[in-house]
Structure 1
Amino acid sequence: MTPTTRTHLVANCIQAWGHARPLVTFCAHLVKMQTDLCVTLLSTGILFDRLTKEAARNFGDGDESPQRLRIVCMGAATDLIGDGLIEPMWKALIAGESLECQQTGTTYDPLPAPTVVILDFFAIKNTRIVRSLSGSSVKIYSWWSGLAYSILYQFGDAHVGGLGNIRVRAEEESRKSGRPYHEVATEMFYTKYGGVVRLPGLPPMYDYDNYPQDFEFGGDTLIEFLPQVNEHIAMTDGALLTSFESWEKDSIQVARNWLAETGRPVYTTGPLLPPASKTSVANEKIQSPEGAEIEAFLGEMLSRSGEHSLLYISFGSIFFPVKTPEKLWAFLEVVVELNIPFIMSAASPFCVVPDEVRVKVKSYGKGLISTWTPQQMILDHPVTGWYLSHGGQNGVTEAIASCVPLIMWPFTADQPMNAVLVTDVHKVGYELLEVRSGSGLQKIFRTGYTPVGTIDAVKAEARDVLGKAFGKDGEDKRARMRVLQQALLSEWEEDGTSKRDVSAFLESF
């Protein structure tokens, strides 16, 4: 690090790519904006290599800023979340000692003790460790990686439309009833009774509309920390939102008002995307084992089928229709039937592609299935016309930035509300309803429709939606997406909200 370093910021998030990718991009933004700032990004082993490559996408040749962004591995996580590893690293940091990367063995020189730390809003243990060791001498900012609407609903106080402090209520109910805490907490967080969720700027939804897919992962891991997120937010000195005002202005204002009640700021930071430079594209491509093949495929499909002809399919790095995979294969049958070129990402650990599907795709000749796709390269390519997405915040942001309208297949978390923003608020896409399962096969509040959920219904809806998407109605939605794209890109211009907010954040320490 340079001897001019005067300010030291530390960042850490859980080992989920949707949380980590925007954070490393944000850290790159910070060191480029403030020349005397050093950032230490603490990573788990599983994400270390990918974060290092992703960081490189944010810097050009001859840029000295990367020297002030160091990515240090804390070690291997023992669970899905990777929370609680920070203690030895934090002790060394506040003592002004050197750090040793547990992945590479590299020793990093001592730096001034950090005055600011950014911690994932799911990192309950790390937040408590930092607060117990440093008290109020360091400012802790909560990293809200996702849609503000969803975070407010699941983890906000009751008066802002949230579920409040579930841990306290679950412990009290457990004492009264004698039922196990995990059972009570799971019921409070996940069980839905058909109540109506009303949030400013969104049409009303039944509570179960936020769980349109029967999907479970993580066992007891999630219920260990989800009921405590509300308390994590209360322990912090402010929040950094990966979202942006042109997407969900009303909810961001609710978040600002909520934290302002206790004198804490909320800063928007989105969109957080690497620049579309040759260096950035090259560094993204090498993260995929099929990167070169995908690039060649895109070019071939452009030559054979023309601009906006390809459908990109991705459910992110975790989600997949595990309970009803046959619905995805039925959807793909219709894609082939309609002669639509496609690329499908199969990154989820839950994704198992049957051999017969792979054989059909290969014989089709206009489809490609990859274990990890260079998503921005695909979305930015002129052949890409539509993006079938689960609706995670990263993917939606990238789609808007690339002006690619969306077909939504949401599961849980921020995805169902993002689907409503796509379809009902901004009108830049469609939502698939017949692919729903579990509680999702109930009456939908905003439409009054009850999905049938059969394979025949899935195929009929696929023909209808794809026919519209690649027709006149789809072009109208693409035109609206262009307007939204310009609004998104302006967030980081000199007078943009995110640029102003991040500048104010840097000036606050």
Structure 2
Amino acid sequence: MALHIAILPTPGIGHLIPLAEFARKLYRRHQISSTFIIPTDQDAPFSPRQQTLLATLPPPINHLLLPAVNLHDLPPDVRAETRIALTVARSLPSIRAAFKSLLSSSSPIAAVVVDLFGTDAFEIAREFQLPPYIFFPSTATCLSLFLHLLELHRTTPSEYRDSPEPFRLPGCTPISGEDLVDPLQDRSNSAYQWILHYCRRYPLAEGIIVNTCTQLEPGPIKALQLQIPNLENPNPKIYPIGPLTHSAAISNQMTGPSSSSIILQWLNQQPIGSVLYVSFGSGGSLRHEQLIELALGLELSEQRFLMVVRCPSDKSASAGYFSTDDSSDPLSYLPDGFLDRTAGRGLAVPFWAPQVEILEHRCTGGFLTHCGWNSTLESVVSGVPLLLWPLFAEQRMNAVMLHEELKVGVRVLSESGGGGAVVGREAVARAVRDLMGGDIGDRNRSRIRDLKIGAAAAIGEGGASAQAFDQLAERWKEEGARRK
């Protein structure tokens, strides 16, 4: 009988993408299939792009959309982490029913894999005697923060951002309080309490799967593997199995072949290494004033660019996280005459682009990014240096690591959506020129090419990530055999 696991992603396509690639590789390499059990809420329907992503998976991998929960009682300014947490919490009866249905099928269930905000499902997994695992889609550095947060909470009396000293996690680059993950920036907010809640539960996992590799984070991974046995529960074993990124073909399908064709035709006409790709991910939003300054800075730089434009938000940098593409035209928010003045040298496209294909293209020479981990890994795998513009979540932590430790990106700014100073067009233009034509760019380009080679070795046969992946699969095969 075929072996099977259950996967519980939490809302957001950025969480779903690496889990889909994990399931794809698990089946391709070990013939272990998966069922995605997907919580949803009434105001954030499962998007067509998420459906397209799951449709690319081979048939033994399937999914179940749970009944949408009602979150209308939440205030309009509720943080994304609270909304995600309550989506899962209010879906628990449906999750239990889904697990029960899976167990009645012919395939033995070897494990339950939840993403970083899904640990409330652990009790249900234990109820059905299923070992729970966490898939952590971000860095080992961020995982280290989560595993040490209860101690930081106990020993830090004030807001973390007010700490005069940086926080020193084992094996990690020191991180200032203001660069820690967003929900830690206001300890009075419910999002902070939810993060503490999850952190208390992390040691209950049988293992923690991390989308990173030793070439990217040698210090944090070594420290986690040494220190996990000293935690309250010695169970969690760390499995660094990255980088997991999706292919150019899947990136193309999620964009739409017609749109992808137009973008790639334009890119084909540019000189090699000359184009700066600009994108803030699937959920990032700039303020309108900042979008204007960014566009004018790209124009002022006189460099070639390919820019993905989303509708701005003056309320939150994560305003697009739960939304699907709306009827508004993002290009209408750009400066008057901008598209005409930059025609030929620049291309602006609405909502989405085939990012993997763009980063792999020979004409792409840089990436202005929000520092989301999926985008970061795609850039590393493609060997493209970075301009760092973090917006929310753990992106400022990622920017610190990319700039100070890995030295593959320049941290131009730390824009925070609804607050913080607007970065002017001159600063944008200067940073773009530095990356695309200066010594800074050359150094970053050389370094990220080395990381590209190292990342490929990690996931290649005999590499550390490939070995960790295989060890995890063998552990599940043993569990499946026990259940037969």
TM more than 0.5: yes
Of 31, 42, 45, 2:37 maps to 42
- Partner residue of 2:116? 121
- Partner residue of 1:68? 60
Taking the aligned partners of 1:317 and 1:67, their CA distance within structure 2 comes to 26
- Partner residue of 2:53? 54
Query: After the TM superposition, which of the residue ranges 220-229 and 144-153 deviates more from structure 2?
Result: 220-229
What one-letter code is carried by the residue in structure 2 that aligns with 1:67?
A: P
Of 431, 456, 460, 1:489 maps to 456
What one-letter code is carried by the residue in structure 1 that aligns with 2:167?
A: V
Asked if 1:402 corresponds to 2:392, the answer is no
- Partner residue of 1:446? none
Asked if 1:265 corresponds to 2:237, the answer is yes
Of 202, 211, 216, 1:247 maps to 216
- Partner residue of 1:177? none
Q: Is the 8 Å Cα contact of residues 57 and 274 (structure 1) preserved in structure 2?
A: no
What one-letter code is carried by the residue in structure 2 that aligns with 1:300?
A: W
Q: Return closer, same or farther for 1:342/1:292 CA change in 2, 3 Å cut-off.
A: farther
Taking the aligned partners of 2:309 and 2:70, their CA distance within structure 1 comes to 24
Of 90, 96, 115, 1:90 maps to 96
What one-letter code is carried by the residue in structure 2 that aligns with 1:357?
A: L
What one-letter code is carried by the residue in structure 2 that aligns with 1:44?
A: P
Q: CA deviation at 1:213?
A: 12
- Partner residue of 1:316? 281
- Partner residue of 2:302? 339
Q: Is the 8 Å Cα contact of residues 268 and 501 (structure 1) preserved in structure 2?
A: yes
Taking the aligned partners of 1:434 and 1:220, their CA distance within structure 2 comes to 22
Q: Is the 8 Å Cα contact of residues 48 and 73 (structure 1) preserved in structure 2?
A: no
Asked if 1:26 corresponds to 2:25, the answer is no
Asked if 1:13 corresponds to 2:12, the answer is no
Q: Deviations over 1:329-352 (max 9, x none)?
A: 212202112333323334577368
What one-letter code is carried by the residue in structure 2 that aligns with 1:226?
A: I
Q: Is the 8 Å Cα contact of residues 389 and 407 (structure 1) preserved in structure 2?
A: yes
- Partner residue of 1:104? none
Taking the aligned partners of 1:506 and 1:211, their CA distance within structure 2 comes to 31
Q: Deviations over 1:159-188 (max 9, x none)?
A: xxx34485xx69xxxxxxxxxxxxxx9x97
- Partner residue of 1:61? none
Q: Name the Cα RMSD after superposition.
A: 3.3
Taking the aligned partners of 1:347 and 1:42, their CA distance within structure 2 comes to 29
Taking the aligned partners of 2:152 and 2:8, their CA distance within structure 1 comes to 24
Q: CA deviation at 1:11?
A: 0.8
Q: Is the 8 Å Cα contact of residues 343 and 367 (structure 1) preserved in structure 2?
A: yes
- Partner residue of 2:76? none
Q: Is the 8 Å Cα contact of residues 376 and 398 (structure 1) preserved in structure 2?
A: yes
Q: Is the 8 Å Cα contact of residues 24 and 51 (structure 1) preserved in structure 2?
A: no
Q: Return closer, same or farther for 1:113/1:211 CA change in 2, 3 Å cut-off.
A: closer
What one-letter code is carried by the residue in structure 1 that aligns with 2:426?
A: A
Of 455, 460, 466, 2:432 maps to 466
| Percentage of identical aligned residues | 21
Taking the aligned partners of 1:344 and 1:419, their CA distance within structure 2 comes to 20
Q: Return closer, same or farther for 1:437/1:19 CA change in 2, 3 Å cut-off.
A: closer
Q: Return closer, same or farther for 1:460/1:48 CA change in 2, 3 Å cut-off.
A: closer
Structure 2 unmatched ranges of 5 or more: 72-82, 312-317, 321-327, 477-484
Please give the residue correspondences for 1:7-406 in structure 2 after superposition, counting only pairs within 5 Å: 7-35=3-31, 37-45=32-40, 46-47=45-46, 49-57=48-56, 66-79=58-71, 80-81=83-84, 82-84=87-89, 85-94=91-100, 110-131=105-126, 133-134=127-128, 137-153=129-145, 155-157=146-148, 162-164=149-151, 192-210=162-180, 222-223=191-192, 225-261=194-230, 262-276=234-248, 281=249, 283-288=250-255, 292-303=258-269, 305-322=270-287, 325-346=288-309, 350=319, 353=330, 355=332, 357=334, 359-363=336-340, 364-365=342-343, 366-406=346-386
Q: Is the 8 Å Cα contact of residues 409 and 432 (structure 1) preserved in structure 2?
A: yes
What one-letter code is carried by the residue in structure 2 that aligns with 1:293?
A: S
* Alignment length (residue pairs): 436
Q: Deviations over 1:221-255 (max 9, x none)?
A: 63452121111202211111112111111111222
- Partner residue of 1:179? none
Q: Is the 8 Å Cα contact of residues 87 and 126 (structure 1) preserved in structure 2?
A: no
Q: Return closer, same or farther for 1:438/1:399 CA change in 2, 3 Å cut-off.
A: same
Taking the aligned partners of 1:313 and 1:95, their CA distance within structure 2 comes to 44
Q: Return closer, same or farther for 1:345/1:260 CA change in 2, 3 Å cut-off.
A: farther
Of 413, 422, 425, 2:402 maps to 422
Aligned to 1:246, the other structure's residue is in SS state coil
Q: CA deviation at 1:394?
A: 0.4
Q: CA deviation at 1:147?
A: 1.3
What one-letter code is carried by the residue in structure 2 that aligns with 1:194?
A: P
